[in-house]
A and B are shown apart, each in its own frame.
Chain A
Amino acid sequence: MRVLEPWLAEPLTGLLRESSARLALVMTASGQVVAQHGFTRSLDVMAVAALGAGILATTAELARVVGSPTDFGAVVHHGESQGIWLAPFDTPRGRWIGLVVFGRESSVGLVRMFFDRFAADVRVAAPSDTQPRELLAEGFERELDDSLRALFGGAPR
């Protein structure tokens, strides 16, 4: 398991243990990965996050177009050997998305129940974000310039 912020580890561990999920991914609404379990390649994590966020964004827009007063909520794909649970949830950091891959050892109902508990645990565990923006240290523009020169090539200033 990898988490961006340590306080996420306990809720995610609980979800994985109780639901017997095989893979899990937590991301922001725009697809930035916050935590993951079970993925072994970084490219897979980024692709799955982008695709999952895209699916939920699409269903939310579909809901708006057809006049649904609320989003459609969770999306479930139930395959022969494994299923995917994809659902948004609100946190003090804004709307996040959870993606859970589960096998025959689990079920949609089980994942749903423990996903709801996970979302509640995240809301409790998340530090209050009273400062909406964290200041960057001085000199960040020079560091950005150095970083892009390192990535793209070019003589240092």
Chain B
Amino acid sequence: MSESGNAPLALTIVVFGASRSGKTTLLRGIHDRLGAGKDDADSPREQHAMPLDWVSLDLGTIGGRAASVLLYAVPGVVAFDATRRVLVHGADGVIFVADSQATRLDDNVAARNALGDHLAARGDDPADPLPVAFFYSKRDLPAELLVAPAVLDQALGVGAAPRMTGDAVRGEGVREVLQAVLTLLLRRASGRGAGDA
């Protein structure tokens, strides 16, 4: 935490999705790959510890401001809907994790609808919506178990939002979806608009 200078940019991203869709695995994928580009001496273990379902990243200086991001996995169980609402209310961006298995399609759609309700409750300006990126998990499973990404796109109403596929256990697509949502919310924070290219 800096003590003066330009106001730091502290960002909060919630990882939303159905129960057992891969939210915590995505966070663990991020956590486990931290420091892959640094020597151990630059990556103190304490800074990267993952004591709860959240991960903190120090992004360094972005656009002239010290930037950090906290990622929280919201409970996937419907019984915790109130908790999910609270977390989405305080978020700067959302990563929606959809389970790629065909048998989980209905669960994904239910979670997407719940997210839509929570986003509507925030009362954001429709012209300036909260950035959401989609991650289709478990793409490493046998193809006969999976639903095509295009089907998920349609079912979840992805539209023009960023969408990545991958396998969080092996880290595939993890950095990409994080970068996609961070880019959107930094554009939003900069006043350039999430949709501006």
Contacts and interface: CB of A to CB of B under 8 A. Distances in A.
Interface string A128-156: 00000111111111011101111111100
Interface of A: 2-6, 28-33, 36, 41-43, 46-47, 50, 53, 57-58, 60-61, 65, 133-141, 143-145, 147-154
B90 A57 contact: yes
Given A30-B12, A31-B70, A144-B179, A152 B36 contact: yes
A38 B56 CA distance: 21
B54 A135 contact: no
Contact of A61 (B10, B60, B85): B85
B90 A140 contact: no
Interface string B7-21: 111101000000000
A33 B1 contact: yes
Contacts of B83: 57-58, 61
Contacts of A33: 1, 10
B3 A147 contact: no
Contacts, number: 126
A137 B82 contact: no
A153 B51 CA distance: 23
Contacts of B174: 152
B154 interface: no
Contacts of B65: 134, 136
A139 B63 contact: yes
A41 B190 CA distance: 32
Interface stretch (B112-120, B144-152, B158-166, B181-189): B181-189
A43 B64 CA distance: 25
A47 B46 CA distance: 12
B86 A6 contact: no
B86 A60 contact: yes
Interface string B130-151: 0000000000000000000000
B122 to A, nearest CB: 12
B62 A4 contact: no
4 shortest A-B CB distances, which residue pairs? A136-B63, A30-B90, A140-B63, A153-B36
Contact of A133 (B38, B85, B191): B191
Contact of B62 (A5, A65, A143): A143
A140 B51 CA distance: 30
B103 interface: no
B7 A152 contact: no
Contacts of A41: 46
A143 to B, nearest CB: 5
B91 A154 contact: no
B175 interface: yes
A6 B179 contact: no
A65 to B, nearest CB: 7
Interface in B1-57: 1-4, 6-10, 12, 33-38, 46-47, 49, 51-52, 54, 56-57
Given A5-B4, A61-B83, A61-B85, 9 more contacts: A4-B8, A6-B3, A28-B10, A43-B51, A57-B83, A135-B191, A136-B63, A140-B190, A152-B33
Interface string B79-114: 000110111001100000000000000000000000
A126 to B, nearest CB: 12
